[in-house]
Amino acid sequence: MNMNDWENQKLVGINKMDGHTVYPPFDDKDDAITGERSASPYFKLLNGAWKFEYFTGPDTLPEDFFEEDFDCSEWDDIVVPSNWQMKGYGNPHYTNINYPIPVNPPFVPSENPTGCYIREFEIDESWQDRRIMLKFDGVDSFMYVWINGQLAGMSKGSRNPAEFDITDIAQVGLNRITVQVLQWSDGTYLEDQDMWWLSGIFRDVSVMALPEVDLFDIFAKPLLDKKYKNGILELEIEVRNWMEKDVRDLVVEAELFDKCGRSVFKKPLSAKTSVKEAKSAKVRLEAEVRDVMKWSAETPDLYTLLLTLKNSYGVIEYKSLRIGFRTMELKNGNFLVNGVPVMLRGVNRHEFQTDLGRAVTYDSIMEDILQMKRHNINAIRTCHYPDSEMFYEICDRYGLYVMCEADLESHGFGYEEGKNPSMWPEWERACVDRMQRMVEAFKNHASIIFWSLGNEAGYGINHKKMYAWTKKRDNTRLVHYERDQMAETADVVSTMYSAPEFIVDTIIPERCKPSKKPYLLCEYAHAMGNGPGGLEDYWQTFYAHKEIQGGFVWEWCDHGIRTQDEDGCEYFAYGGDFGDTPNDGNFIADGLVFPDKSASPGLVELKKVIAPVRVTAKNLKKGIVNVANHYDFITLEHLNVVWSVSENGTVIQSGTIAPLKIKARSNEDVVIPFVMPENPKPGAEYFLNISFLLGMDTLWARCGHEIAWGQLALPVKAAAKKPSVSRSRAVVEMDEDENFLYIAADETFFEFDRHSGTIANWMIDGLPLLEAGPKLNIFRATTDNDRSGAGMAAKWKAAYYHQLTHSVRDVAFDPATATVRVITRVAPPVLQWGIECEYVYRFLPDGSYTLELSGKPVGEGMPPFPRLGFQLALPEAMDNVQWFGLGPGESYVDTREAQRVGLYKAGVDSLSTEYTYPQENGNRSEVRRAAFYDLHMAGFAVTGLDGMLFNFSAHRFTPEAIEAAKHPHEIEEGENICLNLDWKQQGIGSSSCGPYLPEKYQIPAEPFRFGMKFRGFRPNELNDISFFKMI
């Protein structure tokens, strides 16, 4: 039986050129120096509108569709590059590990969606007598291509370039290109990369005309000498002769220009060569560059290398590329860039755009890179395949370290010995070819410091072959592979999602020290939904151990696809929303930015945690702080330092100090010239705030952009705040009937429901302030981290925390002390445990009241509480909030580093975070006091008793409504504002794919006691001064 080409893993291509670097040729030297491909007369993009037809399988195509006279006029138009599912052909399908087809390698279903593309293009007469190269930068997952009815070739390996020599079948003038793309092939088994299964021609298509003698491959090695001072440029150039005769008297010249366009060499480097017919010759050049500008993510200085090929008649062609001088080596248990053990503040990045899928544009890439740079990210792992060429060019220029990963993942086979294609010798070529093509294509990019052998494909003989080939071909970089658990061949020890304590107790002593290799977390802090939590714990661990050199957060972007429901309501779809089964649901929505690329609270938190400057208190009474410079190469002189002192969130002093000359990887004491408040206001809090701002414009941010900040509580001994004094001699009046208690004081009126044990009505001067509550609440809408196998959601559900009922046992009041006591039992159905509660209300003459709640869990098997606090229902008009505490963004006990203590105001709707999958959100923590009010500024204020800090969240829907919805637009809004005032709320963690939430961020089910004070206020009674006095 004949094998189909797409079901033969030993066949990786037909007529496909060997991997090499591709640079357009130029006739003009000035154009060549720009490197802009569109300036070359010998380069042409074939992107644009193509004719397209979608078929259910390769056996359903018209027999003559590839003939040059085939009539495709009735076919649809499709934009290339694109994924056909994003254009309405078939549906996107998401799986994480499982294959969406029967697992029977190398065979795939005969029901194999197939797209056929046709377009025509012109070849100019100036291309006559040149070699015509056709290049596809990315096609998923299998392709045939025909030119003028003649087969040009075949390719697999979706995310590696494929190039074909079409000289003998192309013609000057009009040409027709036909491409057949299959969704499934044997290559599919190596492309199981936790992303949407999307098909088609999704990267650039181009043609290029090369001279008959060409600088076919260029390997530039811009290194440093042993002292990391001078540059050493090593060039290895392959000159290819396409002619059927020997070529003699060729000269290859190399010129180097710095970033200002100045020539570095007094005269070009030069070498003579000859090339036999239809062969290649290697040319090597070498030079020293004194006091070279070194490339790093902090100083991405690039040089322009111009190569010229000449013969006795003159210039044959120019080619140019950008290069950066740097070294990457393993020494003394660390990997060093330019001799320094750098710290990688990285993220994993899939290529994705919500409206385009994986057919990303220049603007889309730039949007990602700018966001990363502005959030202190310095490294990217290209999960889990090589990216498009322009991505690496941008990283070179803007300064990001790159771990370039092979297009290889076979997670669905598992890791058991002998069960994965990486372990099968007959799949060696399929695996090694992917590595070779990646390395050859991108080997000249300064940003790439690691090659990676792929992801989650077990560890087998084929990985060892990939590693051996890579190290032989490129000795200037290190090689990574996480599943090589003991770093048998990999140059670094790498794991995923290991907890900080496990890293310290197990990985470092058992893997790093024996191998004398450093450690990286290639994936950590799974950023799915609300999270990740615990970033500060990781980075404290990183800084404490020299073996650890950072990691890559999983991942950059939620892969939600923008779509609409039947009513035209827009939302971001995830697995299952297109009828795709099997699927892994919203596990694809796990990024630091939302599908529209707006920053999540997790990205804001990451920016603060990984900031290259940290400030700690040394002796604040003398104005001394310690400033740590966590840059690897540069001082802090490029940052302006701005400081202020705040009193209850209001600035009372401010100033600047001269930029600091603190050297990289060191710290110094610094004096901030503020004056300690001599007459502090009673009860006021004072903070020293220090910001580090860019002192100049850069490629990625304007002058004034904040890089880092610190906030330190000043040791000011302020007198305790005096109790508020009533404006009148009002007294508390209490009355009762069978159903209610009635309390009145200072134009404030309460109705207390004896049956529910809660306040049924609270009014001030006739204005309603409350519709229900306060009452104990321990339930929160579960987060993605809660719902994972390592999360708490299953335990909470088994304990029926979502179905608690409140049984009132007794309501007693004492008019003499204006006190109401309520005894309740809060308990679930089915189970026998409960919480015995006592509420104590004390009503005060000024119309305020305090509420203390004590509770005692009784019974066994109660898991930690999700939250512990009061829930209230407010009139829907009371949708404004003012608070003094952490802000302005949401925060939790393990995600609060990026928030500052301050005085904030916001509308209720702006307090929410719209995660792709609805979940707990919008919490504000470490709150000292808060006020909730309507348009007329009538409402109430609340503070914790005995200096208690609290949390609050306010939504137009309940936690139960969030829990019931699968998309944000499905959340059913209520008729009031649901306000949660929490003493505690459980942390967030990263258990969606990571370790258990540490106990220090949990709320154990044990006896508790907390309290708050409430006071209503009239229209216009609230202002920034009265806010701190009225309660």
pLDDT at 381: 98
Residue 335: inside a domain: no
Residue 523 is among the residues annotated as catalytic for this protein? yes
Rounded to the nearest 10°, the torsion over CA 425, 430, 431, 436 is 130
Q: In terms of DSSP bridges, do strands 519-524 and 548-553 run parallel, antiparallel, or are they unpaired?
A: parallel
Beta strands in 225-268 (DSSP E): 231-241, 247-257
Range of the domain at 241: 213-323
User: The domain spanning residue 835 has which CATH number?
Assistant: 2.70.98.10
| pLDDT in the model for residue 729 | 67
**Quick one: pLDDT at residue 719?**
80
The pLDDT > 90 percentage for the chain reads 98
Which of 210, 228, 260 is the last residue in one of the domains? 210
pLDDT averaged over every residue in the chain? 97
Give me the mean pLDDT over the 413-418 stretch: 96
Q: For residue 849, tell me if it sits in a domain.
A: yes
- The pLDDT, as a whole number, for residue 728 is 55
Asked if 55 contacts 110 with a C-beta cutoff of 8 angstroms, the reply is no
H helix intervals, 586-632: 601-609
Question: Cα 604–610–615 angle (5° rounding)?
Answer: 100
Q: What is the CATH number of the domain that holds 153?
A: 2.60.120.260
Annotated active-site residue 488? The verdict is no
Is 429 inside any structural domain? Answer: no
pLDDT on residue 151: 98
| Residues 927 and 1008 placed together within one structural domain of the fold | yes
CATH number of the domain that residue 646 is part of: 2.60.40.10
Q: Quote the number of domains for the chain.
A: 5
Q: Output the six-digit token pair for 446.
A: 């300064």
- 182-201 residue pLDDT tens: 999 999 999 999 999 999 99
Residue 800: inside a domain: yes
Q: Give the pair of three-digit tokens for residue 164.
A: 């074909």
pLDDT tens column, 699-735: 999 999 999 999 999 999 888 776 655 555 679 999 9
Residues 929-971: tens digit of each pLDDT: 999 999 999 999 999 999 999 999 999 999 999 999 999 999 9
User: Are residues 678 and 770 located together in one domain of the fold?
Assistant: no
Distance CA 320, CA 21 (A): 11
Q: How far apart are CA 534 and CA 650, in angstroms?
A: 30
Structure confidence by residue, pLDDT tens digits, 628-682: 999 999 999 999 999 999 999 999 999 999 999 999 999 999 999 999 998 999 9
Which pLDDT value is given to residue 666? 98
- What order of strands is seen across the sheet that includes strand 401-405? 478-480, 448-452, 401-405, 379-381, 344-348, 548-553, 519-524, 493-496
| 207-221, 301-315, 365-379, 728-742: the lowest-pLDDT one | 728-742
267 falls within a domain: yes
**Residues 446 and 538 grouped into a single domain:** yes
The pLDDT assigned to 968 comes to: 97
Same domain, 541 and 618: no
CB 281 within 8 A of CB 275: yes
Q: State both tokens at 233.
A: 């440029």
Integer Cα distance of 960 and 736 in angstroms? 34
Token representation of residue 505: 């107790």
Whether 695 has a pLDDT exceeding 60, the answer reads yes
896: pLDDT confidence band, cut at 50, 70 and 90? very high
Cα–Cα distance measured from residue 66 to residue 147, given in angstroms and rounded to the nearest whole number: 8
Q: Which residue in 456, 547, 605, 920 is the catalytic one? A: 456
> 357 with 469, same domain?
yes
In terms of domains, do 451 and 486 share one? Answer: yes
Which pLDDT score is estimated for 918? 98
Indicate if 764 and 864 belong to the same structural domain.
yes
Q: Is 82 inside a domain boundary?
A: yes
What is the predicted pLDDT for the residue at 727? Answer: 52
Domain boundary among 210, 229, 252: 210
Q: Is the Cα torsion angle 577, 578, 579, 583 positive or negative in sign?
A: negative
Give the start-end residues of each E strand in 166-263. 173-182, 195-197, 200-201, 205-210, 213-224, 231-241, 247-257
* pLDDT for position 726: 52
Average pLDDT over residues 817-840: 97
Q: Which of 166, 191, 210 is the last residue of a domain?
A: 210
Whether 836 and 941 map to the same domain: the answer is yes
* CA nearest to 139, candidates 409, 402, 385: 385
Examine the domain organization and report whether 220 and 201 are in the same domain.
no
CA dist., res. 661 & res. 715, Å (int): 28
Q: For residues 155 and 13, is the Cβ–Cβ distance under 8 A? A: yes
Task: With respect to residue 100, please indicate whether it lies within any of the assigned structural domains.
Answer: yes
Specify burial of residue 664 (Cβ count, 10 A radius: 0-12, 13-18, 19+): middle
464 and 480 inside one domain: yes
Q: Is 678 exposed, middle or buried (0-12, 13-18, 19+ CB in 10 A)?
A: exposed
Model confidence band, residue 85 (pLDDT cutoffs 50, 70, 90): very high
* pLDDT value for 717: 86
The model carries a pTM of 0.97
**Tokens at 588, concatenated:** 């694809």
Q: Which of 409, 523, 547, 771 is catalytic?
A: 523
Q: Answer whether residue 1013 is part of any domain.
A: yes
Is the omega angle on the peptide bond into residue 866 within 30 degrees of 0, that is, cis?
Answer: no
Q: How far is CA 265 from CA 257, 306, 324, 577, in A?
A: 8, 12, 16, 60
Q: Which two tokens stand for residue 217?
A: 């491959």
Contact status, residue 519 vs residue 341, Cβ threshold 8 Å: no
Residues 899 and 961 in one domain: yes
Instruction: Tell me what the mean pLDDT of segment 732-761 comes to.
Output: 95
When computed from its CA atoms, the radius of gyration of the chain, rounded to whole angstroms, is 33
The CA distances from residue 75 to 115, 116, 174, in Å, are 11, 10, 20
Same domain, 203 and 221: no
pLDDT tens digits, one per residue of 234-293:
999 999 999 999 999 999 999 999 999 999 999 999 999 999 999 999 999 999 999 999
**According to the model, what pLDDT value does residue 625 have?**
98
155 is written with which tokens?
């390719």
